Structure 1
Amino acid sequence: MSRGVFKARRTVSRRSVLLALGGASLLAACGPDKGAWHAGGELPGDSHSGEVSADPMPSVFPSVAPPTPGQCPPITGAGTPRHGGPQYYLPCKGTQIALTVDDGPDPQYTPHMLALLAKYDIRATFCMIGRSAAAHPDLVKQVVAGGHHIANHTYTHPLNLTKQPAAQIRAELHRASEAISNASGGQPTLFRAPGGAWSDAVLSECGALGMRPLDWSVDPRDWSRPGVQHIVDTILTRTRPGAIILEHDGGGNRDQTVSALTIALPRLLDAGYAFAQP
């Protein structure tokens, strides 16, 4: 069995920790549909009410076309990842898609995200900032207990990792893995660069720590709080078999994200999509 091909359990045992930190080996991928870098800072907005809102106006959201197994988006020239580069899509087969959740753990929004995923029996990949994992080890354990994977997302979420010297890149990745390991008991095997900022130096340090680079293909830019309608529309109209969807549970007010996923996730499931982990 290759490193990281696991299925996590719901209890926080040594085995479940190791399983939750793994993933399938990187296979041939399709081209990216990437979004811009996000600052992830606090944005104005109301605090979360503690309730996951229901779909208020079902008719205003687009319908989801049933997926055709193996019908993945075509590879695009400029954005085609080279061999050994980041993963933008799941292997192009079946109707599987992946949900990734960045910039946590967050004491306000991560529990809401976990409750929503549990409701629909979905396993996601949480890309955690190391200092947040160190500050909230209990939330890290809850993510593991839910059967989710944990990816390294640097220790401080720097503006552009590619502009940092090699020693600083190494420190960002190493400190984040150490913080995640201390909280969960296992080492992450996936790494996501903040904003999808990749370079040879970043990929080299990622590989040196035994991690695979993970990117995304569907970005509704929920970090900018563009409105529930925009987030839902983007997810439902751009998701295709193999897609890796980017969402956030940290970095600011995530009310819109939670509300949008409350609408989008059951619709994707009803359309015939199946959630998997990279």
Structure 2
Amino acid sequence: MKIVVAGGSGFVGKKLTTLLHNDGHEVVILTRGKSRMEKGMQFVQWLSKEADPVAEIRYADAFVNLAGVSLNSGRWTEKKKHEIYASRMQATSTLIDMMTQLSQPPKVLVNASAVGIYPASQHMIYTEEDKIFSQDFLGSTVRDWERMANRAQALNVRVATGRFGVILGKDGGALPLMALPYRYYVGGPVGSGKQWLSWVHVDDVARALYFAMTTPELIGPFNVTAPHPLRMADFVQVLSDVLHKPNWLAVPSFVLQIALGEQSKLVLEGQHVVPQQLEKHGFEFKYPTAQQALENIYA
């Protein structure tokens, strides 16, 4: 297959494009830099006046959209929130415009999303069938992002939106910051510790996106979370055990609220989310438990 990836140079994108390339697919990575060939993959410039990505791509079997300013790229000021929102809307809209200009639209668009679309809760268990959505900044952003992606359906493109949980990896995502206090022997639960953490290993994220591309029956939202979420206190205990460091100094909620402002919701609030659609269609997680995921990352 020829697969076009927006956001292919990011934390998840690098894992995905390597996986696709190693499996023999033709990978095109959309970039703001100059068009080039690198490591057997084609980089095509987009989102600039001089770029003509459609002429370089010509055709594609699948599009994957991971583009957007990172949620962890700084305190959520009004300016930062605008950047987070606008970057997702612009990238997705541009991709759909590109699809209309190709001689034939791709068969599928796999678009990133997030479990932040579900309201924070200590008691609810969310599946893709739930239609109760969060009304805060992240929930509204993700909901609009999915709506924008679904416009591709008018081109007879199958759309699958992967709602990411907290992605674990050694070189990106939230885990390095979560593990840092333990390296100085001051690790402990964050906030109440009762909030849910629906986590997933970055390798399983890449595998799930690939699975969505190649599974025609998978349509609409699919939760990209491991099948065994944990409450924060339980997760950091596993992290403490794997790192062989003490787990004793709790971080009060108000400290994070002062330090991070609205962004603190990412760790102080959570949702119990399960990957019903992935499991229904036969996807098998390589790292289904936090113990397995963290032991692999810190092996």
TM-score scaled to structure 2, two decimals?
Answer: 0.28
Structure with the greater alpha carbon radius of gyration: 2
| Structure with greater proportional strand content | 2
Structure with higher RCO (Cα < 8 A, 6+ apart): 1
TM-score scaled to structure 1, two decimals?
Answer: 0.29
| Structure with greater proportional helix content | 2
